[in-house]
Structures are given as C-alpha cells and as structure tokens.
C-alpha cells in the first residue's frame, strides 16, 4: 500500500496565528512571550543562511535580555560615579520601571530624543509603571515630561495612583505650587479629582508647615464641590493653628458648622490649643463651653495639654486661669499637670506660687518628680532664699532621691552668694565622691567667691585640686577671667588675681587677650599695650586676637602707623583681623586722610569676613552711586542708612571723597557735605577737614592720571632730557 502523498505546502497559503504580549500563565500553561505562535509545521522558502541574517537584522528588543546589574557593573568599572549605582529602592521595582529609570540615568536626567528612543523599545507603559517611576524620581522636569509622554500613548489613561505619585514627586522636589494644579489637570483629562487627591495635597503642605497653601487647597476643594469629612477638617484647622493663622482656622471652623458636621473631641482640642497659643483666652473659653455643652467636659489630659501650650508661650496668668477652670469642672490634676504648672511658675519667677502647688501635691500624696524639686531649688536660689533651697534638698533626700548635678550647682551657687563658700566647697567634694563629674558651672561660683573674699591662697589650692582631678585647668582659667571681665565691678579683681597666677605658670595667650580687651574697654590703653609686651617677656607669642586688640589701642592713642604694622603682622600670620580691628583702623586712616587705604581695607574686610559690617557694604555702594556726579543718589543711600539705624561715620565720608574723585566732581561732593552739615550729621569742623582731604585727594588722582598718560605715551625720556637742559641753563646763568 502506497503511503499518501504529502500535500504541496508551497501551493497552500500559510496562516500562522500570532500572539502579542505575555499570555496569562496558568497551572498547565507557562508564560508565552510575544512572537510567532503556531502549532503547524512550516517549511521555510529561504535558505538557512539568508533566514538567519534576516532574523538577526529584525531582532526586536527583548526585555528579558536587558540586565541592569550587568550594564551598571560594567559602567562602574569604566567610570565609577554615584549616578552609576542602583539604589536599594530601585532594586525593588519591576523590571520595566527599572528600565525606564535606567534610560533616564544614561541620559543624565535630560529628556530628549535619546530617552524617547529608549522608551519606544517598550510596547506599552502601564499606569502602574508610571506610578512606580514617579515614586522614586527626583527630577521634576523629567518626571513631567515622562508623565506627558505616557499620557500620549494610544488608549492610555492615567489612573489615580499615577496622579498621586506625580503629586508626591513634585512636592518632594520643591515644586509644591505645581502639585496644587494637579486637580485642574485631572479634570482636563476627563478624570475629575476625588477627595483623596485634595487630602494628599493638604497632608503634604501641613507636614511642611505651609499653612497658607493648606488654606489655598481647601478653597480649591470647595470650588470642585467637595465637603471635607470631619477628619480632613481637623487636619486643615490643625495646620492653620500650628502655623499661626488663627483667624483662617476659625473661618474654616465656621464652614465646618455650616456643613452640619458634629465636632469630635479632637476638633475642640485643636481649636482650644491653638487659641491658647495665640493668647485669645475669651474665645478659648467659649470653645471650651461649647465642648461642655455638646460633647463632654475636658479630661485631665486635655487640660494638661492646654496648660502646657500656655506655659511654653510664657502666658502664666492664662495657664492659672485654665487651672481654675479645671478645678471648677471637678477634674483632679495628676502629676503631669502639677509638674507642668510648677515648672512654668518657677521659670517665670513665681516660686512661692509653685511651692504652694508643691505642698498640695504632698498633701494629696502625689508622686513628685525630681525635676520639680530642681526647679524649686533653682527658683529659691534665684530669689536669695538659700535656707528654703537647702530645706527642699533635705526633703528630696528624705524622699529617696539622689541629687543630680543641676541641684548641686544651684545650691553651691546659692551658698556662695551668702558667703558660705566653705560649705559650697564641701558640696563640691561630695559631688566628686558621688562621681557626678562637676564642670565649670559648679566651680565658677567658688572661684569667684574666693577672689571676692581675697582668699587667693584657697583659690590657688582649688586650681591644684582641679588639676589633680584631671580637669582642663587652662580652659577653666580662661573661662574664669572672661566671667570676671564681663562684670565691670570685678575687672580690677581680675588683674590682681592674674598678677598672682602668672608667677605660678598659669598664664596663657587667651588670658592675656581677655585682660587686654577688658583694659581697652576700661579706657586704660597704656596698660593694655603693656600686656602685649609683657606677653613676649613671659615667652608667649601674640596671636591675631592680640594684635587686633592692639590695633584698636594704637588707633585710640593716635598712632595709626603702629596700628598698620600690627595689621601687617596679622596678614603675615595668614590670619584675619577682627571686625573691631577693621573698624578702628579704617577710622584712624580716615582721620589722617589715607582715603585709598581706607577703601582697600573695606574691600579686604568684606572679602575675608563672611558677614562684614553694614557700614562697609554701604561705603562701597556710596562709592558706586558717585558716578555721574549725582548728589541726590548718594543722599538716598545715606537716608536708607538712617532708616536702618547705621551711623554715618568717617568711613562713609572717605567713601564719598573716593567716589567723587574717581567718578564725580568736587562740586557734587561739597553738595553732599553741605547737606550732611545741614542735617547735623557732620559738624562744621569736620566739613572743613574733609573738604581739605577732598582737594588733596583730587590733586593726587590728577597727578596719578598725568603720570599714567606720560608712561602710556613714552614721554618719560623726553621729560628727563628737558629737565637736564633746564638745570644746565640755570648753572650757566649762575
């Protein structure tokens, strides 16, 4: 029997079936990727070689063959950079989202044809992919372009997740105003926003403390016809209250009531705490009464929150009023309420009132925190009631507490103020034995008391004890002298103590600088400068602070050249003079007519110091406004200085002279000086002096211009020859 003849495939039309995209997998069928799918046997009409070449030429992009790990690892080896690293967040994304981010990264986050070409390899980008990409994107411009590109796909519509991710991306990159326009964008795309989109915007603004933007979104929400829920109303009012927009918050509350919503306890507490913060007690009590009528009486936690808000704002009378309301409502205060009010009263100086509440706590057998003891002890010491502070300390110990370093510091300070320095020293020894690690705040009252009582021997023994304990003696001595010199009455004592300490090797450059500055403020210029030379005699090398103080001293004495030499030494040390030194030196140079040197120092100071003096900044501006010889422009700058409270001093006068000599005329400068004299900013004597400086500076600039012209045209040799002939003629006539 003959086998049947196979059909002629070339004569029949081939009808292969195609399947595009990924088929949904099942238990019996694996995933099938896009391409030719057929169960028929087909014969190729082309040769195998040509068929393989054609397939190679038309190979579509296969996402399975794209491996970001391999690509990025090769790029890291060639050019390692932070942008080449995959973040931990991006590794959790889907492959397509990672491919999109990789396309952005390869093009350095610049949208262009190359990015579009990369994205065109994908058959489709779904809204979930758009949301994934935007959630991790940090470039608003690229995110907006990608969002727009995805929206132009055929049959594509953004879903709410994509819009929300776009809003988060814009807010994260600081483009929150653009994020506020998303509801209009959604409406134009035929997908009206829901309440959730507005809630997201409100939450973003409230988290970033943008109260006015919260109200702006709320107004927009009403335009779209939405009425917020109670939860969202609470969030809006809370954001407005916390950022100080109390009237707007009350306006929102009025809308809340007009919408027929019922207040929750959270609603009342937001309003009450906000009004407490604003100090609007009458309105707060009205809201409190409404809370009693509609809901229930506030509990102890609500009252404690109100008292805490008022105490933090320093409104102690209002906090006592709220306390009375709490007692009237029959609410029993707990330890937190007592502690909050007691600490607030003690910090406000009402220690007796706080102590009365403390005794109430003891009568009610409420557990008293150690912080309450501490603030009461500090308050009694500040009032000079050291005996009461010591009694409280005894009560603290009897209650089973151990005093902390703050309590030790307060009692030691109190004992020193009543000349009980020996008891204070014993307390210091006890603190050391209890391993509390006393600091300078503990020791400074004892050190000052020894100096005031002229017990310098005990003072020296205390320094040795500090050295034995391993504390930084040099730092403590510097802080001690600064503490003494800040008090005008004790500056003389500081000098007496230093005379004793420097013979025992306790001197230092920082101490010398502190004493030099104190003597300068006292007006003892010669003594301050003597310390500069004495510093070298004891083997200490002056630093930039020493020379800066010396500059002020030399200028005060009228020795401007010596001050300039100190400035040069500071520059040689690669340091910068202090602002006070710059101000003194420019003042001294202005008084001797060195106008150019003054302006050089002004520019040097502004170039070296981060926040230079405002008069220096205005000096440069005055110099610039002198262009065109317009005296009115200069006077406008000087008027602005008056409004800002900046004095018009010698530096400004020098800037007027410098600017008018370079860019203006003598007449315009004299007009400015005359106006300043009329306003009694400049005296008549100063006007005469600075007018002479103006003429001298003009002559100097004119001479400089002539010499520059001679050098430019090469006339120096001719002038020399002419000068020699004139000398020869004069000798012949003689």
User: Which position has the higher pLDDT, 75 or 279?
Assistant: 279
Three-state SS sequence of 391-414: HHHHHHHHCCCCCCHHHHHHHHHH
Q: What is the pLDDT of residues 63-99, one digit of tens each?
A: 555 555 444 444 444 444 434 444 555 567 788 888 8
Separation of alpha carbons 155 and 200, rounded Å: 27
Three-state SS sequence of 273-340: HHHHHHCCHHHHHHHHHHHHHHCCCCCHHHHHHHHHHHHHCCCHHHHHHHHHHHHHCCCCCCHHHHHH
Burial class (CB in 10 A: 0-12, 13-18, 19+), 83: exposed
For the chain, the domains span 578-721
675 touches 631 (CB < 8 A) = yes
Residue indicated by tokens 């200028």:
555
Residue 653 has pLDDT above 60, yes or no: yes
Burial class (CB in 10 A: 0-12, 13-18, 19+), 190: exposed
Burial class (CB in 10 A: 0-12, 13-18, 19+), 228: buried
Work out the average pLDDT over 345-372: 88
Q: What is the pLDDT of residues 104-131, one digit of tens each?
A: 888 777 888 888 888 888 878 888 888 8
Phi/psi of residue 98, nearest 5 degrees:
-65, -35
Q: Which residues 6+ apart lie within 8 Å of 434 measured at CB?
A: 402
132 touches 162 (CB < 8 A) = no
As a whole number of angstroms, the longest Cα–Cα distance in the chain is 156
Q: How many Cβ atoms sit within 10 Å of the Cβ of residue 495?
A: 18
Work out the average pLDDT over 597-614: 89
Work out the average pLDDT over 531-540: 85
245 touches 211 (CB < 8 A) = yes
Separation of alpha carbons 170 and 179, rounded Å: 6
**Range among 64-68, 90-94, 644-648, 703-707 rated most confident:** 644-648
637 touches 693 (CB < 8 A) = no
pLDDT given at position 568: 93
Run of H or E residues at 640? helix 631-644
pLDDT given at position 91: 63
pLDDT given at position 569: 92
Work out the average pLDDT over 206-210: 90
Terminal C-alpha separation, the chain: 156
Residue 313 has pLDDT above 50, yes or no: yes
Residue 17 has pLDDT above 70, yes or no: no
At residue 487 the predicted structure's pLDDT band, cuts being 50, 70 and 90, is confident
Run of H or E residues at 18? strand 17-19
Specify the pTM.
0.64
Residue 43 has pLDDT above 70, yes or no: no
Work out the average pLDDT over 374-399: 89
In the chain, pLDDT over 70 holds for what percent of residues?
83
Q: Which residues 6+ apart lie within 8 Å of 688 measured at CB?
A: none
The two three-digit tokens of residue 71, written as one number: 């690509």
Separation of alpha carbons 229 and 235, rounded Å: 10
37, β-bridge pairs = 17
């Amino acid at each position: 029997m003959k086998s049947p003849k196979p059909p002629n495939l070339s004569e029949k039309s081939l009808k292969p079936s195609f399947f595009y995209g990924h088929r949904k997998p099942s238990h019996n069928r694996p995933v099938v990727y896009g391409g030719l799918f057929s169960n028929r046997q087909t014969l190729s009409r082309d040769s195998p070689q040509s068929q393989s070449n054609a397939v190679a030429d038309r190979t579509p992009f296969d996402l399975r063959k794209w491996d970001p790990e391999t690509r990025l690892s090769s790029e890291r080896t060639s050019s390692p950079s932070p942008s080449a690293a995959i973040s931990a967040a991006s590794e959790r994304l889907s492959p397509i989202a990672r491919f999109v981010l990789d396309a952005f990264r390869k093009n350095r986050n610049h949208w262009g044809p190359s990015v579009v070409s990369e994205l065109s390899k994908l058959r489709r980008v779904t809204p979930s992919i758009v949301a994934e990409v935007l959630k991790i994107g940090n470039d608003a411009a690229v995110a907006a372009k990608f969002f727009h590109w995805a929206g132009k796909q055929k049959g594509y519509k953004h879903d709410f997740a994509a819009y929300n991710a776009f809003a988060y991306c814009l807010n994260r990159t600081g483009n929150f105003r653009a994020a506020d326009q998303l509801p209009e964008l959604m409406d134009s795309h035929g997908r009206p926003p829901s309440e959730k989109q507005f809630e997201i915007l409100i939450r973003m603004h409230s988290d970033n403390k943008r109260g006015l933007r919260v109200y702006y979104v709320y107004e927009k929400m009403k335009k779209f016809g939405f009425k917020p829920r109670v939860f969202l109303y609470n969030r809006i009012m809370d954001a407005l209250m916390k950022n100080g927009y109390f009237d707007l918050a009350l306006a929102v509350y009025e809308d809340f009531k007009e919408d027929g919503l019922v207040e929750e306890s959270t609603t009342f507490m937001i309003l009450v705490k906000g009004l407490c913060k604003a100090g609007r007690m009458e309105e707060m009590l009205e809201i409190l009464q409404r809370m009693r009528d509609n809901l229930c009486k506030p509990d102890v936690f609500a009252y404690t929150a109100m008292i805490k808000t008022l105490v933090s704002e320093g409104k102690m009378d209002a906090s006592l009023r709220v306390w009375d309301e709490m007692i009237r409502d029959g609410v029993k205060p707990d330890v937190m309420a007592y502690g909050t009010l007691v600490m607030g009263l003690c910090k406000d100086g009402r220690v007796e009132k706080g102590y009365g509440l403390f005794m109430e706590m003891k009568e009610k057998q409420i557990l008293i925190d150690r912080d309450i003891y501490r603030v009461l002890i500090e308050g009694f010491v500040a009032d000079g009631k050291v005996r009461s502070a010591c009694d409280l300390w005894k009560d603290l110990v009897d209650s089973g507490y151990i005093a902390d370093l703050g309590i030790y510091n307060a009692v030691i300070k109190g004992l020193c103020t009543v000349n009980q320095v020996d008891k204070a020293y014993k307390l210091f020894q006890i603190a050391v034995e209890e391993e509390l690690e006393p600091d300078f705040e503990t020791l400074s009252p004892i050190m000052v008391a020894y100096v005031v009582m002229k017990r310098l021997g005990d003072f020296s023994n205390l320094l040795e004890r500090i050295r034995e304990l391993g504390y930084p003696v040099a730092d403590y001595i510097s802080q001690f002298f600064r503490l003494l010199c800040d008090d005008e009455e004790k500056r003389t004592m500081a000098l007496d103590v230093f005379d004793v300490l420097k013979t025992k090797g306790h001197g230092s450059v920082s101490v010398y600088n502190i004493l030099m500055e104190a003597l300068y403020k006292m007006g003892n210029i010669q003594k301050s400068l003597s310390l500069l030379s004495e510093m070298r005699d004891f083997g200490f090398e002056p630093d930039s602070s020493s020379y800066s103080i010396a500059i002020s001293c030399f200028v005060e004495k009228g020795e401007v050249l010596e001050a300039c030499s100190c400035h040069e030494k500071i520059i040689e040390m690669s340091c910068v003079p202090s602002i006070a030194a710059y101000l003194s030196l420019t003042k001294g140079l202005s008084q001797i007519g060195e106008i150019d040197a003054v302006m050089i120092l002004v520019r040097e100071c502004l170039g070296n110091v981060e926040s230079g003096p405002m008069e220096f900044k205005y000096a440069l501006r005055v110099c610039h406004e002198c262009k065109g010889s317009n005296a009115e422009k200069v006077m406008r700058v000087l008027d602005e200085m008056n409004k800002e409270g900046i004095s018009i001093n010698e530096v400004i006068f020098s800037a007027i002279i410098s600017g008018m000599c370079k860019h203006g005329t003598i007449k315009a400068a004299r007009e400015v000086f005359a106006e300043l004299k009329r306003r009694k900013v400049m005296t008549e004597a100063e006007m005469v002096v600075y007018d002479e400086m103006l003429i001298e500076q003009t002559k100097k600039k004119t001479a400089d211009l002539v010499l520059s012209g001679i050098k430019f045209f090469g006339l120096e040799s001719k002038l020399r020859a002419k000068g020699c002939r004139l000398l020869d003629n004069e000798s012949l006539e003689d």
